[in-house]
């Protein structure tokens, strides 16, 4: 029987952006600014998903409460599989969980070590840069490749940040080191231990759809169907795959401020019912 309930107009539908970064990882904006921009974009909810870091949450929460926008607990964690970079988003976990805390502090140390390795490899191919310059740009948060890219830019080895990833620090480049040596299975175990829901981020970058079923066997709970780098055909494909594998669906912009210029917060925002489904599953 057809429903008599009117569909909300597109403009009135509550929307959420579940993938954003702050300067606690490789974004350029503060947690407060991200919340303010999300509010200004008319969003009902956001998650801050910094790389291997959850320090933005307590800073952003009072601002979100003040502005009346829902802030979900989130993170984007690095893993690697078969030489491929795998990013796992996670939502609704216990931030105080000891397994998670231990993982994050180990990952922080690994990322520092990684920068030293990357810088040595880059020096070997003629880039005269120092690890200390990278750490100075990263500040207190998670250090990552975009910070290395900025140092390469500052010294004139590249003319745009994206060039760093095509010539120096992307997969198959001389300075490439994976963000984490851990397999997705191990990172999923950490997220599950903290009662979170692991979600495979931007599957389009993985380019190996057939791996997703394997990750599901290992405890993956969701798929980022909607993402600013997913064209409509990819959204349709991942939507079908999520249905087939019984996965929750999430989405968001992957906002990074000036690190990804021209990508506003709220791009690829999802209807709020996806957030409700996520919260039901984590309850
Ligand atoms: P990391 O976690 O240190 O491996 O850095 C991953 C981050 O690098 C991503 O979240 C993006 O912000 C950035 N990134 C990865 N690939 C590219 C690319 N081709 N162009 C620009 N930024 C990129
Ligand atoms: Zn990033
Ligand atoms: Fe990512
Ligand atoms: Fe991201």
pLDDT at 11: 52
Nearest CA to ligand 1 atom 16: 165
pTM (two decimals) = 0.95
- Mutation choice for ligand 1 from 146, 182, 261, CB with most ligand atoms inside 8 A: 146
Which protein residues have their CB within 5 A of the ion that is ligand 3?
87, 201
**For range 55-77, the mean pLDDT:** 98
pLDDT of residue 49: 98
- Per residue in 76-117, pLDDT (tens digit) is 999 999 989 999 999 999 999 999 999 999 999 999 999 999
- Scanning the structure block, which residue is given the tokens 């968001």? 252
51 Cβ closer than 6 Å to some ligand 1 atom: yes
Tokens of 2: 């057809």
For residue 160 the two structure tokens come to 């745009």
Which of 172, 173, 198 is CA-nearest to residue 183? 198
Q: Note the maximum CA span of the chain.
A: 69
| Of 20, 23, 26, 118, best ligand 1 pocket probe by most atoms within 8 Å of the beta carbon | 26
Per-residue confidence band for 260, with pLDDT thresholds at 50, 70 and 90: confident
Which ligand gives the minimal distance to the CA of 147? 1
Nearest CA to ligand 1 atom 11: 146
**What is the chain's Cα-based Rg?**
19
Candidates 256, 193, 232; CA nearest to 26 is: 256
């Amino acid at each position: 029987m057809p429903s008599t309930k009117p569909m909300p107009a597109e403009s009135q539908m509550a929307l959420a952006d579940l993938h954003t970064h702050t300067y606690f990882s490789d974004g350029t904006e503060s947690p407060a600014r991200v919340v303010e921009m999300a509010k200004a974009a008319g969003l009902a909810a956001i998650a801050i998903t910094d790389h291997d870091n959850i320090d933005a949450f307590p800073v952003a929460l009072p601002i979100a409460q003040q502005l009346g926008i829902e802030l979900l607990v989130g993170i984007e964690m690095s893993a690697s599989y078969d030489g491929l970079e795998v990013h796992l988003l996670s939502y609704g976990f216990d931030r105080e969980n000891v397994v998670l805390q231990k993982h994050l502090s180990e990952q922080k140390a690994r990322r520092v070590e990684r920068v030293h390795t990357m810088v040595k490899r880059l020096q070997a191919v003629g880039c005269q840069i120092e690890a200390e310059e990278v750490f100075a740009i990263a500040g207190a948060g998670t250090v990552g490749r975009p910070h290395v890219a900025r140092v390469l830019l500052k010294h004139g080895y590249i003319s745009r940040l994206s060039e760093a990833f095509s010539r120096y620090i992307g997969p198959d480049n001389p300075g490439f080191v994976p963000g984490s040596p851990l397999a997705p299975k191990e990172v999923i175990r950490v997220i599950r231990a903290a009662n979170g829901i692991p979600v495979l981020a931007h599957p389009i970058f993985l380019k190996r759809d057939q791996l997703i079923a394997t990750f599901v066997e290992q405890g993956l709970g969701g798929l980022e169907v909607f993402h600013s780098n997913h064209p409509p055909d990819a959204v349709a494909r991942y939507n079908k795959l999520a249905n087939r594998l019984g996965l929750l669906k999430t989405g968001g912009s992957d906002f990074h401020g000036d690190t990804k210029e021209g990508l506003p917060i709220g791009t690829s925002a999802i209807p709020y019912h996806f957030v409700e489904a996520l919260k039901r599953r984590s309850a």
